[in-house]
């Protein structure tokens, strides 16, 4: 592996990273990137490891850059496991990705959501602060506190392969609760896409592999990243949800070889879709000023290309399973 240089031309030394939530969507891509392109070591913490099994199981001799020697999985729940502090102490940097981030859950499991995003993460913040360790935190909310050694990442719709959803229901599982995952689900089941309140909200989408490049810059350039909050998104990929439905319908038709539905979309109210009391902003655009200035990062992948890659993966992974579920005769009593 070639010597890696940071943005100021200094040699990057291998570090040990405690990655909490490593088994999720973002974590799995970040583990892959770190193992294939850097010399860093990962202590991967999660309650699940399905999405990183391919990185844990390969025998060392088949792997470039000795993957197996550089990733260790620790199955633990950060809510109540004393091993967490030891793992943080052993590491140079902690990255916390663990959270509930499903909009449907905000209404139905409000306390779990608040606990998972704020309260459960507090020991991680405390252990890092008490042991003088760097921390990169992923958050939803504005105005989170920051400290000298801490970097905050505000992701704006990171999209790509391994985005999670449960075939057979409208909402995705915990992880990536995006309109995009719901639409994929509808497309796979050949059902009209549901446009909430006419689909006039605007959203931006960034390709996971572009976004992971940004996180790697933060990891390897602590002097430029510490103390900052970075928006990581792609303002160039802005569409209304209605436009997104149209593009996804076309891309899916190309990927699957199936003709688009005659009635590709239907309107539903936000109350019907999310439940009473749900509210969301009409427009969210990431301001890229700070990430541009500090890390010189810019996303590259167009909306069409990221949808093509994501939907190709989803079609390959789920289409057969969904067909089987849908053609199963229902039991009669
Ligand atoms: N993907 C996005 O576009 C997006 C958008 C906004 C915010 N985020 C934030 O980024 C982070 C990661 O997102 P993701 O898409 O990878 O989510 P994800 O659900 O795929 O991954 C989160 C992982 O954390 C693990 N986890 C949750 N609670 C845990 C606990 N108590 N102990 C141990 N492990 C636990 C889960 O098992 C899961 O594997 C989250 O903090 C999320 O709020 C992501």
Q: Is 157 in the pocket of ligand 1 (CB under 6 A)?
A: yes
Q: Is 84 in the pocket of ligand 1 (CB under 6 A)?
A: no
Asked if residues 194 and 117 have their Cβ atoms less than 8 Å apart, the reply is no
Measured CA to CA, the distance from residue 60 to residue 70 in angstroms comes to 10
pLDDT the model gives residue 278: 64
- Is the pLDDT at 147 greater than 60? The verdict is no
Q: Which residue has the higher pLDDT, 4 or 112?
A: 4
142's torsion region: left (phi>0), alpha (psi -120 to 50) or beta? beta
Q: Is the pTM of this model over 0.85?
A: yes
**Length in residues, the chain:** 333
Per-residue pLDDT of 34-74, as tens digits, reads 999 999 999 999 999 999 998 998 666 666 666 778 999 99
Q: For all residues of the chain together, what is the average pLDDT? A: 85
pLDDT the model gives residue 124: 92
113-122, 255-264, 322-331 — most confident range: 255-264
Mean pLDDT of 74-103: 89
Q: Is 318 in the pocket of ligand 1 (CB under 6 A)?
A: no
The token duo for 136 is 């990169």
- Is the pLDDT at 189 greater than 80? The verdict is yes
Nearest to 230 by CA among 142, 315, 291: 291
Q: Is 77 in the pocket of ligand 1 (CB under 6 A)?
A: yes
Whole-number Å distance, alpha carbon 217 to ligand 1 midpoint, is 20
Fold category of 99-322 in CATH: Rossmann fold (3.40.50)
Q: Is 27 in the pocket of ligand 1 (CB under 6 A)?
A: yes
Nearest to 301 by CA among 194, 157, 164: 157
Mean pLDDT of 211-233: 97
Pocket test for ligand 1, best of 99, 138, 176 (most atoms within 8 A of CB): 99
Mean pLDDT of 155-178: 64
Mean pLDDT of 104-114: 65
Nearest to 157 by CA among 236, 254, 216: 236
Measured CA to CA, the distance from residue 51 to residue 162 in angstroms comes to 7
Q: Is 23 in the pocket of ligand 1 (CB under 6 A)?
A: yes
Measured CA to CA, the distance from residue 1 to residue 12 in angstroms comes to 12
Per-residue pLDDT of 235-294, as tens digits, reads 999 999 999 999 999 999 999 999 988 999 999 888 887 777 666 678 889 999 999 999
Confidence tier at 108 by pLDDT (50, 70, 90) = low
Residue 12 burial (CB < 10 Å; 0-12/13-18/19+)?
Answer: middle
- Is the pLDDT at 333 greater than 50? The verdict is no
Q: Which residue has the higher pLDDT, 324 or 40?
A: 40
pLDDT the model gives residue 169: 47
Provide the 8-state DSSP code for 78. T
- Reported as type and span, the H/E element at residue 288 is none
Q: Is 175 in the pocket of ligand 1 (CB under 6 A)?
A: yes
Give domain limits for the chain: 99-322
Which string of b and e fits 143-168 if b means at least 16 CB within 10 Å?
ebeeeebbbbbbbbbbbbbbbbbebe
Nearest to 312 by CA among 254, 270, 261, 262: 254
**Chain centroid offset of residue 73 CA:** 19
**Chain centroid offset of residue 332 CA:** 41
């Amino acid at each position: 592996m070639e010597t890696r240089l940071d943005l100021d031309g200094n040699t990057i030394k291998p570090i040990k990273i405690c990655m909490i939530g490593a088994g999720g969507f973002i974590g799995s891509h970040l583990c892959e990137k770190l193992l294939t392109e850097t010399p860093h070591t990962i202590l991967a913490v999660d309650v699940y490891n399905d999405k990183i099994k391919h990185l844990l199981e390969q025998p060392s001799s088949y792997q470039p850059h000795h993957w197996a020697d550089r990733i260790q999985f620790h199955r633990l729940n950060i809510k109540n496991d004393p091993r967490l502090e030891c793992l943080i102490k052993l590491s140079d940097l902690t990255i916390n990705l663990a959270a509930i981030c499903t909009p449907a859950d905000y209404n139905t499991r409000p306390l779990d959501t608040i606990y998972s995003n704020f309260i459960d993460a507090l020991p991680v913040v405390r252990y890092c602060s008490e042991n003088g360790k760097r921390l990169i935190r992923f958050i939803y909310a504005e105005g989170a506190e920051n400290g000298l050694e801490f970097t905050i990442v505000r992701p704006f719709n990171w999209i790509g392969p391994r985005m999670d959803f449960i075939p057979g229901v409208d909402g995705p599982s915990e992880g990536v609760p995006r309109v995009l995952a719901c639409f994929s689900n509808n497309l796979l089941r050949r059902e009209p896409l549901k446009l909430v309140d006419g689909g006039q909200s605007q959203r931006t989408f960034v390709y996971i592999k572009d976004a992971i490049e940004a996180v790697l810059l933060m990891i390897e350039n602590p002097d430029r990243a510490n103390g900052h909050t970075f928006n990581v998104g792609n303002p160039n990929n802005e569409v209304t949800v209605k436009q997104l439905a149209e593009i996804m319908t076309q891309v899916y038709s190309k990927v699957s070889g199936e003709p688009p539905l005659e009635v590709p979309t239907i309107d539903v109210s936000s109350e019907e879709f999310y439940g009473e009391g749900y509210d969301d902003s009409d427009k969210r655009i990431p301001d890229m000023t700070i990430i541009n200035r500090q890390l010189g990062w810019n996303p590259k992948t167009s909306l069409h290309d990221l949808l093509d890659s994501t939907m190709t993966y989803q079609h390959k992974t789920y289409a057969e399973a969904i067909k089987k579920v849908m053609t199963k005769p229902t039991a009669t009593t």
